[in-house]
C-alpha cells in the first residue's frame, strides 16, 4: 500500500536517497523548509536543586560527587544540568582526597565549606571557605581536605563536549589556566563596586570573574561566564531576560526569592537554581542583609555568536 501523499511539505518524513550505490550515499537524509526547523526538544526547566546540597553537607556523607543531573528531563544522552553545563557538589571528608578527571575544557570550583589543597598539573592551590578557583579540563585533579570536612560546588562544560563527541583539550593546551580568587579579594572587589556605584541602566551589582588568558573575552572560559551577584537588603534586581542559561549557587540570602516568568521561586541555602533561557526573571531580597549568589552562564557562546539577547523586560502577569 502506498503511503498517503502529505498535505504540505511540512508533513513529509525524512527523505532517503532513491538509489544509493555506496554506504556513504545511503546515509544521506533530506528535509525541507517546512519540516527542517521544527525539532521539538523539552525546555530547560525552572528547577532548583535542594536535595543534592543537603546530601553533600550531611555529617555522615562520604567523599564523592553529587550531581545535579536532569538529563532525562532535557532529553540529553549524557549527564547535564543544562544543555551545556553540569553541576556537582563535591564532598571531601577530613584528611581524605577526592580525585576527578572531567572530560571538559575547564572546571569551576567554589568552596562552600572547609579548607584544603587542590593539585593539578604539578601546581597547588590552598583554598578556604568562600574561595573560587578554576582548573583546566581533561587533567587529573586531586582535592585534599584539611582537618575538617569540605564541600565544593563544581561546574564543568562536559555536556558541551559530549554533545559533539569531543575530547577535552590535550594537557597543556586548554584555554583555561589555573586561577585562584580568594574570599578576601572577592569581598574587596565587591566593596569597590559599591563604593563607586552604578546607574539604573546597569543590571545589578555583580562581580565578573576573568583571568589573564581570558581578559579579552571577560570570561573565565571561552564559553562560560562566572559572576558573583549581590543584592542589598530590601532591594529588587530589575526584571530582564537573556539567551544564556544561568545556573546559580545560593550563597547567602534571608527571605530572598526570584520571579521566573511570573512564578515565585523561593531560595534555599546552598541550593542550585536554574534560570531558563529567555525567561523574564527578577531577584528579590526581603531581608536586611546583602544577598550573594554565584552565577555561571553559557554566555560565552552567545557573546561569540553576537546573540546574547540581554534586555530589561516587564514581569509577566501574576508576578
Sequence spans of domains, the chain? 48-312
> What's phi and psi for 121, nearest 5 deg?
50, 35
* 8 Å CB contact between 104 and 157: yes
Q: How many helices (H) and strands (E) does the chain have?
A: 6, 21
- How would CATH label the architecture of 48-312? Sandwich (2.60)
Task: Look at residue 198 and tell me whether its pLDDT is greater than 90.
Answer: no
> What's phi and psi for 174, nearest 5 deg?
-65, 145
Lowest mean pLDDT among 5-14, 63-72, 267-276: 5-14
> Who contacts 264 (Cβ-Cβ below 8 Å, separation ≥6)?
257, 258
Average pLDDT, stretch 225-254?
94
214-230: pLDDT as tens digits:
998 889 999 999 999 99
36-65: pLDDT as tens digits:
988 889 999 999 999 999 999 999 999 999
247-283: pLDDT as tens digits:
999 999 999 999 999 999 999 999 999 999 999 999 9
Average pLDDT, stretch 81-95?
98
Helical H segments across 31-167, by residue range = 51-57, 71-74, 158-163
Task: Look at residue 319 and tell me whether its pLDDT is greater than 50.
Answer: no
Which of 246, 228, 200 has its CA nearest to residue 291?
228
What is the strand order of the sheet 64-68 is part of? 64-68, 86-92, 150-156, 106-113, 132-136, 179-181
**pLDDT of the residue at 203:** 66
**pLDDT of the residue at 172:** 87
Count the neighbouring beta carbons within 10 Å of the beta carbon of residue 186. 18
Average pLDDT, stretch 176-183?
95
Amino acid at each position: 500500500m502506498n503511503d498517503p501523499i502529505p498535505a504540505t511539505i511540512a508533513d513529509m518524513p525524512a527523505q532517503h536517497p532513491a538509489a544509493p550505490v555506496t554506504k556513504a550515499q545511503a546515509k544521506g537524509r533530506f528535509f525541507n523548509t517546512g519540516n527542517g526547523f521544527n525539532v521539538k526538544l523539552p525546555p530547560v526547566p525552572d528547577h532548583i536543586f535542594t536535595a543534592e546540597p543537603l546530601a553533600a553537607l550531611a555529617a555522615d556523607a562520604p567523599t564523592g560527587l553529587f550531581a545535579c543531573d536532569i538529563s532525562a528531563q532535557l532529553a540529553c544522552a549524557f549527564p547535564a544540568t543544562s544543555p551545556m553545563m553540569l553541576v556537582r557538589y563535591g564532598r571531601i571528608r577530613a584528611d581524605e582526597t577526592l580525585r576527578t578527571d572531567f572530560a571538559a575544557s575547564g572546571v569551576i570550583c567554589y568552596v562552600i565549606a572547609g579548607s584544603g589543597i587542590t593539585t593539578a598539573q604539578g601546581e597547588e592551590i590552598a583554598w578556604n571557605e568562600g574561595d573560587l578557583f578554576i582548573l583546566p579540563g581533561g587533567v587529573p585533579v586531586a582535592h585534599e581536605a584539611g582537618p575538617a570536612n569540605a564541600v565544593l560546588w563544581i561546574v564543568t562544560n562536559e555536556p558541551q563536549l559530549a554533545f559533539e563527541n569531543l575530547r577535552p583539550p590535550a594537557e597543556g593546551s586548554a584555554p583555561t589556566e589555573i586561577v585562584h580568587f580568594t574570599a578576601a579579594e572577592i569581598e574587596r572587589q565587591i566593596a569597590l563596586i559599591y563604593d563607586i556605584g552604578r546607574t539604573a541602566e546597569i543590571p545589578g551589582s555583580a562581580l565578573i570573574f576573568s583571568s589573564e588568558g581570558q581578559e579579552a573575552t571577560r570570561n573565565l572560559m571561552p564559553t562560560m561566564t562566572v559572576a558573583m551577584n549581590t543584592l542589598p537588603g530590601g532591594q529588587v534586581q530589575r526584571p530582564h531576560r537573556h539567551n544564556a542559561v544561568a545556573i546559580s549557587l545560593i550563597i547567602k540570602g534571608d527571605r530572598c526569592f526570584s520571579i521566573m516568568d511570573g512564578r515565585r521561586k523561593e531560595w534555599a541555602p546552598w541550593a542550585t537554581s536554574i534560570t531558563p533561557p529567555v525567561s523574564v526573571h527578577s531577584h528579590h531580597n526581603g531581608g536586611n542583609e546583602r544577598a550573594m549568589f554565584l552565577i555561571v552562564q553559557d554566555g560565552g557562546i552567545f557573546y561569540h555568536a553576537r546573540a546574547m539577547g540581554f534586555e530589561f523586560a516587564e514581569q509577566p502577569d501574576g508576578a
